[in-house]
Structure 1
Amino acid sequence: MSTFDTIVIGAGMSGLTSARMLADAGQSVVVLEGRDRIGGRMHTDRGAGFPVDLGASWIHGIEDSPLWSLVHALRIPAIEYTVGSFQVGGRPIENFDGDGHPMDEAATAQWIADVDMADRLLVEEIAASSPGDTYLDVTERALDRSGFAPERIDDIREFFRHRVEEQCGAWIGDLDAHGLDEDAIEGDEVIFPRGYDELPRRIGSGLDVRLETVVTRVSWSHDGVVVHAGETQYRAARAIVTVPLGVLKAGTIAFEPALPDAVAGPVSRLGMGVFNKVFVQFPERFWNEETYVIRALGEAGEHWHSWYDVSAVSGIPTLLTFAAGPFGRRMQELPDAEIVADAVSALRFLYSDAVGEPLAHWVTRWGEDEFSNGSYSHLALGSTHHDHDALAGPVDEVLHFAGEATWGDEPATVGAAFYSGHRAAERILDRSVDLTEFAARITAREQTEAR
């Protein structure tokens, strides 16, 4: 039986961050990863000769972001793309009405003003909400107060539903009324032309990472932990569990004894959403050169409603759309050809024959991935913001938890995964870990290896 100071379960962003910090502090650390790669839900496909980020894509807000500071320090190139969050304005968006007709400048301005007013009313309704209220409840109350004509209300209702789907991967009626409280974006957003997984790959370089090592049981006591993976056992003074919330909810890792309610309660109450990506490449661009997003409102956008222009990464006309929430769960059960055909037919409803036959496509199925069982966490009805941070533990200073679901300020983001891994390392070391020095050590190690 191998013995270590700390065992990290999961080689995603949080796990690699904590492992790197602990190893840099002189600890013996092993990272156990069930997949055949590192990165977790940061997964870049380079099979076509250019990167396609099948998992995380954006940093949502670079202002005062330690994650952005790390990217900058490591000289990882990024492209400004400030509509990664679900917005009605701020960058050029081609809007189409419910009949599939392009909206002119006046109609677009009215649409933006309508959503702005509805959102202001929504903030008031959320503040006045009671325990047990869903996001559907508060949005309906806001719309009732708006005084808008029925067709305008229908469009905003669809917008609210799609916003929850994209931000949380959930149905609006399953989200708590406070489920988007932490959704503010500070500063520009960016994507990564070399692929987002460059970040975990560089953080994890040189660590003892055991791939295709599926953890099935964690036995713990005041004396330490024994982690079981197949016939192999690993012993350590402590473990950091960084598997996604969906894996914890599925119970595929047994904890002996069972986790206390302080951690098990948040696991059961928080939700795990499904947010799948569909990339489609075309022979020619049929949308405007300056467009960031194509968006269909109302009936025209009931399912496929937003397409994001990510052509800058490959140099080939490419649109990215999403299937999220209940729609995403249904779509991921279909073959690629049906999914792509359905999405392209929605585009042809808007652009007619200008839409050429797709050259290539990529489709994700995160809800069917045994190592994630979903895309990211959300505040399900019955949970609170406190549940995210409570999930981090620690339990008797022996079991620590990290990952996006354990960071209440901005869950469901790479930033949350990074910060939670940092927090776990600091708790174990009982001292602060300076992020500037962390980045400098990564760079120095790379320079030494390059000599």
Structure 2
Amino acid sequence: MSRRDFINISGVFSDLALLQACQIKFSNVFEVTFNNKPKKNVVIVGAGISGLAAAAHLSKKGMNVTVLEGRNRIGGRIWTDRSIDNIPLDMGASWVHGIKGNPIYDLAKKNKIDTSITNYDSHLIFNFNGDELSESEEIRLEKQSEKFVKFIEEQRSNLHQDRSLTSFINHFIKEEDLSKKEQMLLNYYVNTTIEHEYSGSSYNLSALNFDSGEELSGEDVIFPNGYDQIIQLLIKDINIKLNESIYKINYEKDFVKVYSDKSLFSADYVIITVPLGVLQKNDILFIPELPERKRKAINKLGMGILNKIYVKFPNAFWSKKPHLLGYVSEDKGQWGEFLNIYHYLNEPILLALNAGDFGNVVENRHDKEIISELMIILRKIFGPSIPNPISWKITRWGKDRFSYGSYSFIKVGASVEDYKILSESVNNKLFFAGEATVTDFPTTVHGAYLSGIREANKILEEISK
């Protein structure tokens, strides 16, 4: 999910073997027995990385697992699009953040999947007029950013009640008496380093807790041939049903009933991996209602936006060398950062990243309006004669009814404790996984993956009692 990312290894039986070994009764609601001994049924709502990790783990332990996915594809917020000349473009998660001890990187390495390092220091930054920042401006940006980070820590030590990160920004601007140009540099840093990282606008981010969680050491890497390679490793022999949009879950009796818009499923246990945004929209009716403690945690956390705009040109008019391009906009957050796909894939493609408020603005604009505004910026930087793009792909994660956003963040008044509460099971029947249920690595693909394993182990422990 996150920019830091922003996210079934093998089953036990094939369908044929299952039919031969099991006696199966179907009536939309199913029950399976093996050698006359009842086996536990688990339904997993969502075929993202956490749901697939849980499914794989449980299947290896002999559970009967069915994964229900509302979309017509697997992967959730891991989504590699190849509709432009079969070029793999990751519309959701892009990065593996910290390769040391990272289960996603370990999967990639084990299966010889190519990765490419992102060096965040390899960038060209341009000011509002389209000129590359001078050496003195670069030094000023670096020193001011370091000073702001120290300022945050100092303010936190004296803060007894949470406030927004914006309040810190305004205090810093006043205390340092920053000029208009210096304020633009500060806004560029906040947008590209913090808002892009955590997906929320600074006035929504908790000053105390926005960066809570741990980080793995090592480089950040992307998958030049697509993040979906990881998903493909996890689906072998897993029973996945697509286009099953879940609208109700009834857990008041012994068996949990899961209702989609076309089917009914029954299970001993259900793992819910839908994104936080779906829970916040109350698109799934729970009977009985989820505990108040959990509902409060759901609403305290934030669901952010990081939208992507890929543009392919007939030729590259920019350097292949830098990993990133930056633009210090007069208006905070607008077209602040580009990933140089030309560097990674040798294709004349730029990826514009827009988070928070401007990411939301993009949602409500037509493609041609978005591209027109983007070209104004690029022509300011690279000159009026650069060609128009020949194709593009634009995400609108906030409008996606299966996510309602890109990934979670800690809103003013919230903390990692809310992630923990969201991870708590209900009546030992409902289990919750996903990037918004992780206290150590929230908002990351590896965090989501590990949460699926965590919930699978909870079910196995419950069965063993």
User: Aligned to 2:454, what secondary structure does the other structure show?
Assistant: helix
User: Aligned to 2:339, what secondary structure does the other structure show?
Assistant: strand
Aligned-partner Cα distance in 1 for 2:407–2:206:
16
Ranges in structure 1 where 5+ consecutive residues have no aligned partner: 84-90, 432-451
Tell me which amino acid in the other structure corresponds to 2:153.
V
Aligned-partner Cα distance in 2 for 1:185–1:120:
22
Tell me which amino acid in the other structure corresponds to 1:67.
I
Equivalence for 2:91: 54
Maintained 8 Å contact 2:320/2:342: no
Alignment match of 2:413 (pick from 367, 382, 387): 382
Deviation at 1:231, TM superposition (A): 4.5
Equivalence for 2:200: 170
Alignment match of 1:123 (pick from 147, 150, 153): 153
Could you give the per-residue CA deviations for residues 138-179 of structure 1, whole angstroms, max 9, x where no partner exists? 233334444654531342134214444312322211111121
Alignment match of 1:200 (pick from 231, 255, 273): 231
Aligned length: 424
Equivalence for 2:221: 190
Maintained 8 Å contact 1:100/1:300: no
Maintained 8 Å contact 1:121/1:145: no
Name which of structure 1's ranges 41-50 and 249-258 shifts more when overlaid on structure 2.
41-50
Could you give the per-residue CA deviations for residues 235-271 of structure 1, whole angstroms, max 9, x where no partner exists? 1111000011111111111000000023212111111
User: Aligned to 2:338, what secondary structure does the other structure show?
Assistant: strand
- Return closer, same or farther for 1:365/1:377 CA change in 2, 3 Å cut-off: same
1:23-102 matches, cutoff 5 A: 23-47=59-83, 48-83=85-120, 91-102=121-132
Tell me which amino acid in the other structure corresponds to 1:62.
I
Aligned-partner Cα distance in 2 for 1:362–1:231:
31
Equivalence for 2:51: 15
1:224 aligns with 2:252: no
User: Aligned to 1:216, what secondary structure does the other structure show?
Assistant: strand
Maintained 8 Å contact 1:2/1:233: no
Could you give the per-residue CA deviations for residues 81-131 of structure 1, whole angstroms, max 9, x where no partner exists? 133xxxxxxx22111223322122232122212211221222222333232
Tell me which amino acid in the other structure corresponds to 1:70.
L
User: Aligned to 2:267, what secondary structure does the other structure show?
Assistant: strand
Tell me which amino acid in the other structure corresponds to 1:264.
R
User: Aligned to 2:66, what secondary structure does the other structure show?
Assistant: strand
Aligned-partner Cα distance in 1 for 2:280–2:196:
21
Deviation at 1:184, TM superposition (A): 4.8
User: Aligned to 1:321, what secondary structure does the other structure show?
Assistant: strand
Aligned-partner Cα distance in 1 for 2:412–2:308:
25
Aligned-partner Cα distance in 1 for 2:333–2:448:
32
Tell me which amino acid in the other structure corresponds to 2:77.
R
Maintained 8 Å contact 1:286/1:354: no
Aligned-partner Cα distance in 1 for 2:395–2:262:
32
Aligned-partner Cα distance in 2 for 1:346–1:24:
52
Equivalence for 1:152: 182
User: Aligned to 2:203, what secondary structure does the other structure show?
Assistant: helix
Could you give the per-residue CA deviations for residues 59-84 of structure 1, whole angstroms, max 9, x where no partner exists? 1221232322222122221111133x
Alignment match of 1:114 (pick from 144, 150, 155): 144
Pairwise CA RMSD: 2.0
Tell me which amino acid in the other structure corresponds to 1:45.
D
Maintained 8 Å contact 2:191/2:332: no
Tell me which amino acid in the other structure corresponds to 2:86.
G
User: Aligned to 1:277, what secondary structure does the other structure show?
Assistant: strand
Aligned-partner Cα distance in 2 for 1:127–1:72:
41
- Return closer, same or farther for 1:302/1:65 CA change in 2, 3 Å cut-off: closer
Aligned-partner Cα distance in 2 for 1:108–1:155:
9
1:212 aligns with 2:243: yes
User: Aligned to 1:123, what secondary structure does the other structure show?
Assistant: helix
Maintained 8 Å contact 2:187/2:332: no
Aligned-partner Cα distance in 1 for 2:345–2:192:
27
Aligned-partner Cα distance in 2 for 1:158–1:191:
23
Aligned-partner Cα distance in 2 for 1:304–1:133:
27
1:132 aligns with 2:162: yes
- Return closer, same or farther for 1:416/1:354 CA change in 2, 3 Å cut-off: farther
- Return closer, same or farther for 1:155/1:183 CA change in 2, 3 Å cut-off: farther
- Return closer, same or farther for 1:142/1:122 CA change in 2, 3 Å cut-off: farther
User: Aligned to 2:97, what secondary structure does the other structure show?
Assistant: coil
Tell me which amino acid in the other structure corresponds to 1:23.
S
1:267-278 matches, cutoff 5 A: 267-278=298-309
Equivalence for 1:362: 393
Maintained 8 Å contact 1:295/1:305: yes
Maintained 8 Å contact 1:121/1:146: no
- Return closer, same or farther for 1:390/1:222 CA change in 2, 3 Å cut-off: farther
- Return closer, same or farther for 1:302/1:265 CA change in 2, 3 Å cut-off: closer
Tell me which amino acid in the other structure corresponds to 1:188.
E
Aligned-partner Cα distance in 1 for 2:423–2:382:
48
- Return closer, same or farther for 1:220/1:170 CA change in 2, 3 Å cut-off: same
Could you give the per-residue CA deviations for residues 320-353 of structure 1, whole angstroms, max 9, x where no partner exists? 1122222122211222111111112111111213
Maintained 8 Å contact 1:10/1:32: yes
1:216-255 matches, cutoff 5 A: 216-221=247-252, 223-255=254-286
- Return closer, same or farther for 1:394/1:302 CA change in 2, 3 Å cut-off: closer
Ranges in structure 2 where 5+ consecutive residues have no aligned partner: 1-28, 32-39
